[in-house]
Structure 1
C-alpha cells in the first residue's frame, strides 16, 4: 500500500500508525511489550519501503492496569527509550511519540501530567541531541464538562 500511495503522490509522508509492539523479527525485544501480544511488528512494519517515519503509542494505565503507578511510569520510560533507539539505530528513520495519555476516570490531572512530562521530555531530549524523536502528540485531552455542553446546546 505504501508504494501504491507514493506512486500517486510522492510528496506525502507515510507512517504505519501502530502501537509499537515488537514481533517475531525482534523476538529478543518482545520482553519490552506489555503483558500481551497483538500480532504486530514494530521493526518489520516500519522497514517497509515508502514508510517515512515511525510512530509509537503508549497507554501504560490501560496496558498495565492493576500495576502500580511507579511500574507504569517505569514501563513508559523504557518503552519510549527503546523505540527511540530502534528508530535511530535500526530503522534509521524519525519517530513521533504519538497517541499517549492517561484516563482521568481512574487517575488525577497530576498523574496525567506526569505521563505528559515523561513523553515530552523523551522527545525533547532526543531531538535536542540529534536523535530520532522529532515530535509528540497527546491523544484526547478532555476537560471536565461541568454542564458546559448544556450551555452551548
Structure 2
C-alpha cells in the first residue's frame, strides 16, 4: 500500500545530485525493489506504469493537473466496497501491472484532499524535490532546511552584502 512516505519517496525519485538531474527509477532493479517494498509485482509493464504515474504526479504537483494523463492511468479501474466483521473496506480492481501505479495516484489524491496545499515543490528553483508541509502554519518552503533552505538564505545574504 502507498502511504504518504512512499508517495514522497516516489515524487522525490528524480533529485538533482551534484548539479545534475538524476532518475533513481531509471534503474529497473532499484524500481523493482521499491515496487516489492510496497506490494507491487515489479514486472516490466508494472515498472513502466509506475514511472508514468510518477511523472504525471510530479507535473500535477508543480502545476495544473494533467487530467488526460491521469485518466489514462486510472482507465478501467474500480473500487468496490467490501463489508465484513472488521467493517467497510474498499477493494481496488485493476490489472496487476497497473495496480501499484493506481495506488500511487490514489495516495496523491488522498493527500491533496486531506492536506490541501501542503504537498508542493521545494522553493529552491534548482531543486527537483517535493515536500509535505506538516507545520501548523503551513509555511515550509524547502525540502530540507539543512540543504536548500540554508543554501538560499546564504545566497541572499551574499547578494545583500555585495549590494552594500
Q: TM-score scaled by structure 2?
A: 0.23
Kindly name which structure, 1 or 2, has the bigger radius of gyration based on alpha carbons: 2
Q: TM-score scaled by structure 1?
A: 0.25
